Chains A and B, each alone.
Chain A
């Protein structure tokens, strides 16, 4: 397989200069927006549905469905919002930063098309406060788009208007959860809301809100330009399109790689990343971030796709692939992850607040870890917490006990 021919999110990103939008336009940038503005908005939603695109933030929810739910909730409502989730905080994940720094225009183009499709006139990009470079490059790109009539009133002399602004986070993993992000956008503490209602129904200021990840928006221009069939021909039966994989650990060339879903871990590590560093032996990986799952060597030939990983009790999540080797202190790593959850728990739900603390405290005593006891606690938390944070520690703990508890 040729691993270089799969560029959707990072299309031509190495070929143009951010200060010069003409170069992006020359490489067929904003053609998709032009085409979309001549289409019926419902036809765009249909096309996204048919493409099989699923949310790239971690949950993998079908994007077209989200769009149609948002549209359906707005029965004579006066405002719909589009929000881009760029609060990339999942440990081991750095793909959205890559897109925003290298290809910011594609995010704006994708968001504008999505806004047109659902009938939104106002959008926000919520970027985490630590991503200074991403903030600068997105801010610059937005300014240039306003200058070129690609944002603002009567885009491209048509009847559609769309305003877009950046919102800067201030250090909270939890704000990457969609309803918590919306609370934060409203200028509050980042506490999760009870769902339902989902953002599609009652989001920002209780208005229907379409909220997608950076990478998800970046796929929309390709689908509009090339059609849903072409997009759906990439990937596996239930995981369509490409995905940015964030590979870290002791491999020869760690980094972000855009590849079709369904590539195996073996291909990713040994062909794309050039294999393990000298004197390091592959032991497994932590896939999907802290709220992800450990896998061992038996996963080397499992396709990295939503359905194939799910079948084996694992998750693709955000696309983080943290490679573990013979030098990795696995119990220390598990404890590190649990410390992370303890730090990021907002404290609203008691099972999560106390649960994350006792799990971390217990895991610190590495020589005396009772994994079954930890599993019980994590299960209780998963059943009794409001948001994904309290529901997550079970994932790494369970998979750790399955593959590495000896």
Chain B
């Protein structure tokens, strides 16, 4: 039953797009954003294959090529920390260690914090080099980062639990 329900939801999202290949990335973004765990499930991929009339293999090929898409569940907030040269020079790798320790993320926790709120990823240049180091939490950019600023951001996200 659960599967049928998911399928219905997936097709409801897909119906907003023209069934042309040039709409695939937009559709995948929408499916991923609609999933509370911000990933593209195998059911969603099957729905995409059916809707756009391409093979499941082709869909998998697309999803795994682009770094913003994930085939694995993630936290409610995806923290994408920039590791490009300017952020590197401004110490972004220290911030990554700090974040990982702070949220107690390891490979064994599948990179999701115990409360299910956070996943940390690194990303290539976010284009905010004049305010390095920078990170993105879901769709919002935070820049000129320090440990203190990160504490504030995490605290706000944890306590208010506000939508980004």
Pick from A90, A91, A171, A328: contact of B66, CB below 8 A.
A171
Name which of B61, B66, B125 has the most chain A CB atoms within 10 A of its CB. Answer: B125
Pick from A131, A190, A328, A343: contact of B65, CB below 8 A.
A190
Q: By the criterion CB–CB under 8 Å, are A130 and B127 in contact?
A: yes
Q: By the criterion CB–CB under 8 Å, are A336 and B88 in contact?
A: yes
Q: Does A9 contact B (CB under 8 A)?
A: no
Among residues 82 to 138 in chain A, which have CB atoms less than 8 Å away from a CB atom of chain B?
Answer: 88-94, 97, 129-133
- Residue numbers in A under 8 Å from B140 (CB-CB): 132
Binds A, one of B2-10, B17-25, B112-120, B147-155: B17-25
- Residue numbers in A under 8 Å from B136 (CB-CB): 130
Residue of B at shortest CB range from A191?
Answer: B65
Q: By the criterion CB–CB under 8 Å, are A91 and B86 in contact?
A: yes
CA distance A332 to B20 in the complex (A): 45
Q: By the criterion CB–CB under 8 Å, are A91 and B22 in contact?
A: no
Residue of B at shortest CB range from A256?
Answer: B130
Q: By the criterion CB–CB under 8 Å, are B124 and A169 in contact?
A: no
Q: Does B62 contact A (CB under 8 A)?
A: yes
CA distance A322 to B68 in the complex (A): 26
Number of A-B contacts (CB under 8 A): 123
Among residues 177 to 191 in chain A, which have CB atoms less than 8 Å away from a CB atom of chain B?
Answer: 184-190
Q: By the criterion CB–CB under 8 Å, are A130 and B126 in contact?
A: yes
Among residues 26 to 68 in chain B, which have CB atoms less than 8 Å away from a CB atom of chain A?
Answer: 26, 28-29, 52, 61-62, 65-68
A67 to chain B: closest CB distance in Å? 24
Chain A interfacial residues counted at CB < 8 A: 50
- Residue numbers in B under 8 Å from A247 (CB-CB): 130
B4 to chain A: closest CB distance in Å? 27
Q: By the criterion CB–CB under 8 Å, are A129 and B129 in contact?
A: no
- Residue numbers in A under 8 Å from B141 (CB-CB): 132-133
Q: By the criterion CB–CB under 8 Å, are B67 and A93 in contact?
A: no
Residue of A at shortest CB range from B84?
Answer: A91
A136 to chain B: closest CB distance in Å? 9
CA distance A135 to B155 in the complex (A): 28
Q: By the criterion CB–CB under 8 Å, are A91 and B124 in contact?
A: yes
CA distance A400 to B14 in the complex (A): 49
Pick from B29, B67, B85: contact of A290, CB below 8 A.
B85
- Residue numbers in A under 8 Å from B26 (CB-CB): 167-168
- Residue numbers in A under 8 Å from B132 (CB-CB): 248
Q: By the criterion CB–CB under 8 Å, are B130 and A169 in contact?
A: no
- What mask results when residues 137 to 171 of chain A are scored 1 for a CB within 8 Å of chain B, else 0? 00000000000000000000000000000011111
Q: Does B128 contact A (CB under 8 A)?
A: yes
Name which of B24, B26, B129 has the most chain A CB atoms within 10 A of its CB. Answer: B129
B29 to chain A: closest CB distance in Å? 6
Pick from A131, A189, A336, A343: contact of B61, CB below 8 A.
A189
- What mask results when residues 185 to 216 of chain A are scored 1 for a CB within 8 Å of chain B, else 0? 11111100000000000000000000000000
Q: Does B156 contact A (CB under 8 A)?
A: no
B interface residue numbers (CB < 8 A to A): 20-26, 28-29, 52, 61-62, 65-69, 80, 83-86, 88-89, 123-132, 136, 139-141
Question: 23 A-B Cβ contacts within 8 A?
Answer: A89-B124, A92-B85, A133-B141, A167-B22, A170-B67, A171-B68, A172-B66, A173-B124, A187-B20, A187-B21, A246-B129, A246-B130, A248-B86, A249-B86, A249-B89, A254-B130, A290-B84, A322-B129, A333-B85, A336-B83, A340-B85, A343-B124, A344-B124
